[in-house]
Amino acid sequence: MNPLKQVAGVVSKPVEAVSKALQTPTSRTTPGGIARILRPRPSLAEILDGRIVMVTGGSSGIGRATAIELGRAGGTVLLVARGEEKLRETADEVEAVGGRAYIFPTDLTDMEAIDKLVATVIDKFGRVDILINNAGRSIRRSLKLSYDRFHDFERTMQLNYFAPLRLMLGLLPGMRERGFGQVINISSIGVQTKVPRFGAYIASKAALDTVSDAFQAETQDEGVRFTTVHMPLVRTPMIAPTSLYDNFPTLTPEEAGHVICDAIIERPRRYSPAFGRVASFADSISPEIMDFVRNKGFKMFPDSAAAGRKGEAAEKSAVEQAVSSAQRLFVDITPGTHW
């Protein structure tokens, strides 16, 4: 039997089991049930009135697009990233559309620099109402190529987990004291689908997801909301080294930014793509079936030249640049997933 037909059959079973519950593209677990649904939806401008929003990774990609949309709604945005020049460019764009922007060039892998950032912001503004932990590092590299690269796991944990955790520990006391706050963590559909080659990346994101769940349990009645966004593949500089993704359907940074701004309005616990929810549900029922699916995907797509394939040229190969009909079908079956 054709392996792709096998995969399609395996995936279709859990899909059929939960399809009626998954008719919308995004899961929005919001408080208040029916009463919240019937309430008029506020605008982003209304939500941001008098609020201060911090966006990490604000110099490009999702962070930049989010900041501009916040600015269009009249928001006050604190932009954090390493590069001062690009931060200034984003700040100019935010102010050009009607917002207020302040830049804070910071190396988020430096814990002392984060502490200084928190102290500076609190001294200048008194608070941060909404923290968007967007800055991150992704590494696509198989286990075989990772035996001597423990530092890959250290680097992803440093930026993707320890940095946002340090920010939360610095800003949450004020949020709890004031009885209002929101932390939006940009996670990945990979945490739900547990994709191969991304062990370092999804482990760091899963750690952030889990610690936020624990924090939410402690602050549930204090007006503080933790929102996890399981973002599907987005066309940003982060995925540029993997030329295979040139053939994958992706969100634009602007579409991803809109999801984040929507999360500010809705204040859900999680935003998740439909396939991510299907995969997570199927995995909870039978991880063995999902292991089979993931293994098929792993065998179907190669490591990229950027991952350092041993014994191969460093330039982009033809197999990376072109996607076969079988690969295309697999991508269509698993939308938003980065193989």
- pLDDT per position as a tens digit, 227-271: 999 999 887 766 555 556 565 667 899 999 999 999 999 999 999
Q: Evaluate whether 185 touches 227 at the Cβ level (below 8 Å).
A: yes
pLDDT of residue 38: 59
8 A C-beta contact, residue 174 and residue 118 = no
The reported pLDDT for the residue numbered 19 is: 38
The Cα–Cα gap between 36 and 85 comes to: 42
Q: What is the mean pLDDT of residues 179-186?
A: 98
Domain spans, the chain = 3-17+42-333
Residue 189, CB half-sphere, CA atoms under 13 Å: how many? 24
Residue 152 has pLDDT above 90, yes or no: yes
Report the CATH architecture of 3-17+42-333: 3-Layer(aba) Sandwich (3.40)
pLDDT of residue 27: 47
Q: Does pLDDT of 34 surpass 50?
A: no
Calpha distance 257→49 (Å, rounded):
19
Output the average pLDDT for the chain.
85
pLDDT value at position 93?
98
| C-beta of residue 95 within 8 angstroms of C-beta of residue 105 | no
Contact at 8 Å (CB) between 122 and 174? Answer: yes
DSSP string covering 212-249: HHHHHHHHTTTTEEEEEEEE--B-SGGGTT-GGGGGS-
Strand order in the sheet with 100-105: 26-28, 270-273, 224-231, 181-188, 130-133, 52-56, 76-81, 100-105
By mean pLDDT, which of 35-49, 131-145, 193-207 is the weakest?
A: 35-49
Specify the pLDDT at position 318: 42
Residue 20 has pLDDT above 50, yes or no: no
**Structural contact between residues 224 and 173, judged by C-beta atoms closer than 8 angstroms:** no
If pLDDT is split at 50, 70 and 90, which confidence band does 7 have?
Answer: very low
- Indicate which residues carry an active-site annotation: 201
- Percent of the chain at pLDDT exceeding 90: 68
pLDDT at 275: 85
For 330, other C-beta atoms within 10 Å of its C-beta total: 23
Asked if residue 29 lies in contact with residue 108, where contact means CB atoms within 8 angstroms, the answer is no
How confident is the model over 177-192, as a mean pLDDT?
97
Give the H/E segment covering residue 133. strand 130-133
Q: Which residue has the higher pLDDT, 304 or 264?
A: 264
Mean pLDDT of 60-66: 96
Please tell me which residue, 283 or 33, carries the higher pLDDT value. 283
pLDDT per residue as tens digits for the range 189-198: 999 999 999 9
Predicted confidence (pLDDT) per residue in 99-151, tens digit: 999 999 999 999 999 999 999 999 999 999 999 999 999 999 999 999 999 99
Per-residue confidence at 22, pLDDT binned at 50, 70, 90?
Answer: very low
User: Is residue 309 scored above 70 in pLDDT?
Assistant: no
Q: Kindly state the percentage of the chain with pLDDT values over 70.
A: 80
> How far apart are alpha carbons 312 and 67 in whole angstroms?
41
Residue-level pLDDT at 94: 98
| pLDDT computed for residue 12 by the predictor | 47
Mean pLDDT, rounded, for 153-160: 97
